[in-house]
Chains A and B, each alone.
Chain A
Amino acid sequence: MSKNVYIAGVGVISAIGNNVAENLASLKNNSPGMGDMQRLESNHKGKLPVAEVKLSNESLCQQLGLPLHTSRTALLSTIAAKEAIENSGVTIKKYRTGFISANSVGGMDKTENFFIEFLNDNNAGDLHEVVNHECGAVTEITADHLGISDFVTTISTACSSSANSIFLGARLIRQGMLDVVVAGGTDALTKFTLNGFNTLMILDSQFCQPMDENRRGLNLGEGAGYVVLVSEKLAGSLDVKPTVQLTGWANANHAHHQTASSPDGTGNLLAMKGALKKAELNPSDIDYINLHGTGTNNNDIAEGTAIKNLFAGNYPLMSSTKSFTGHTLGASGGIEAVYSVLAIQEGLIFSNLRFETQMKELPFKPVTKLQQKEIKNVMSNSFGFGGNCSSLVFSKNA
């Protein structure tokens, strides 16, 4: 049984595009996706920018042939997962296929519609809208639509969820339990999360500035991102042989606070170190880090400090693509995994938009201009509430 796990396909939908090609074009054009709320109905409209997917629920439903009461979380998931499978060229029906998805809000967008009516009148409200509240139900809708039933599961570990679903997929392939795994995550913007993050006072009322000395917080985003992981054997049988592998991963816990990272980046460091070890790489082998880089005070200093300690003077190029997509929570690890694969395939390092001032605690700064460069190894970081920290390493075939 081979330990190599290949990325055969990618799919993504976010505020900067409805598919991989559009996302790549926006990344190349330094064109961010935040703006005034268009779709979300909230009191914060006009005050807090968000990064919304430009398609309405109606047009997503129409495109997929799914009923109108389907949660947006499931719609985004289905669009991106479908693209990933098409992109891979794998006929999933022929293989033992799994679908591992992640999300943090579940069908909250529909549930909150229900509650508005329900809280005023216990007899009101459309029960259709709550049946998919549970995070797992969202995954089932997409799995059914894709026709995947061999193995389906949902991970819910906040903002690192979809990174975790990706390495879980790799494990199942390495263990020989599955041949193909569609793995990643999804989250839709909801009032619930917007209000919640607002009470935590970590939302930026301007466009976010990750890794900047004067950062003010994050912008929430939405979207979904999936990779199609395949075994070496299957990879070899494909017409277009995949060029990128998932070589390393690790997960650890800060054990510090329910939501905050420990300031010295304990969990971040454990995760990055673990992922390098698994990939059998040295810190100097990493060409690019796709940062978690949310733009909050707490995350960026914790992540930055951990990088400072791990890479000690030999800093790879790095950027936070959340400066384009906003923080897409349960989807971010999946979306950024797609960007990491694109970085290797296209030989591109994406810009950390709006960066102005280097953080005084850190001896390095992110990339501020799109760069063309051969990239062999990319590290992608995802750190979540609950202290859950994950790092993935993607590598170009030797």
Chain B
Amino acid sequence: MSGSELKITAHAIIRNGKILRNSETIFESSDTGSDFLREAYEEGLKIDYPKFYKMDALGKSGIIATEVLLQDFDFGKYKPEEAGIVLSNKNSSIEADVNYFETARSFPSPALFVYTLPNIVIGEISIRYKFKGENAFFVSDQFDADWLHFYVSDLIHHQKIKACICGWVESVDENFDTCLFLVEKEQKENAVNFTAENLKEIYGLKV
């Protein structure tokens, strides 16, 4: 089937206190949870984007992973509406839901409420990196490589998307499991074919 000429041109993983870019560890810390994300943001990646501090953990890990993923990305190459995002996880926005719930007992916080939807992380990525094309968030029991492969292939072959961020972004009890892929038609150094097998293999990397 279609998809063979598509490439995974980069991938990023946040898991077990490490951040990997194309399988190489680029940041590591003994800090956990929010402290880990903050350190990665401030020390590891030196991002300057004050909105970061306002995000929930899902948003923060999504932004950090995308920052890593797009390090060599040529932003001029695609129109905003040609760049799409397809993410998934198992627990939706559970952490934000619980945090909001806690505040709702006294003064419910609007800033927390806005994160009680899983696709807000897509919104955050769209805003920062100007991805305006099709975007979707799926809730599924586990990382579903076949499904991602089908969906993203279809977006690129039939729906006018030319670059797509896809993958898994999960945050439960301050534990992160994020694995994002950048899929493009271009051949790039170190790129691998966009196949379900390769998605599975990269997602399954021992970190």
Q: Would A254 and B132 be within 8 Å (CB), given that A134-B94, A156-B92, A192-B101 are in contact?
A: yes
Partner-contacting stretch, out of A29-37, A70-78, A193-201:
A193-201
Partner-contacting stretch, out of A9-17, A228-236, A380-388:
A380-388
Give the size range of B's interface with the partner.
35 or more
Say yes or no: B120 contacts A385, CB within 8 Å. Answer: yes
Say yes or no: B119 contacts A386, CB within 8 Å. Answer: yes
Which chain B residues lie closer than 8 Å to A198 at the CB level? 108
Q: Does B124 contact A (CB under 8 A)?
A: yes
Chain A nearest CB: distance from B100 CB in Å?
7
Contact of B117 among A104, A201, A254, A274 (CB under 8 A): A104
Q: Does B154 contact A (CB under 8 A)?
A: yes
Q: Mark A165-179, 1 if CB is under 8 A from B, else 0.
A: 000100100010100
Chain B nearest CB: distance from A89 CB in Å?
29
Q: Would A199 and B127 be within 8 Å (CB), given that A157-B119, A252-B132 are in contact?
A: no
Chain A nearest CB: distance from B143 CB in Å?
13
Q: Mark A134-145, 1 if CB is under 8 A from B, else 0.
A: 111000000000
Dominant secondary structure at the B interface: mixed
Q: Does A333 contact B (CB under 8 A)?
A: no
Tell me, in angstroms, the Cα distance from A387 to B109 when the chains sit together.
20
18 contacts between A and B (CB under 8 A): A112-B101, A119-B105, A133-B94, A133-B97, A153-B147, A156-B137, A157-B135, A157-B136, A199-B109, A201-B110, A250-B159, A255-B130, A258-B114, A274-B160, A386-B119, A386-B120, A387-B123, A388-B122
Q: Which chain A residues have a beta carbon within 8 Å of chain B's beta carbons?
A: 104, 106, 108, 111-112, 115, 119, 133-136, 153-158, 164, 168, 171, 175, 177, 192, 195-196, 198-201, 250-259, 266-267, 270, 274, 384-388
Beyond A156-B138, A386-B122, 15 additional contacts (C-beta under 8 Å) are A111-B97, A119-B105, A153-B140, A156-B139, A164-B136, A168-B136, A192-B100, A196-B108, A196-B110, A201-B110, A253-B133, A254-B123, A258-B123, A267-B132, A388-B119
Q: Which chain B residues have a beta carbon within 8 Å of chain A's beta carbons?
A: 80-81, 85, 90-92, 94, 97, 100-102, 104-105, 108-110, 113-120, 122-124, 126-127, 130-141, 147, 150, 154, 158-160
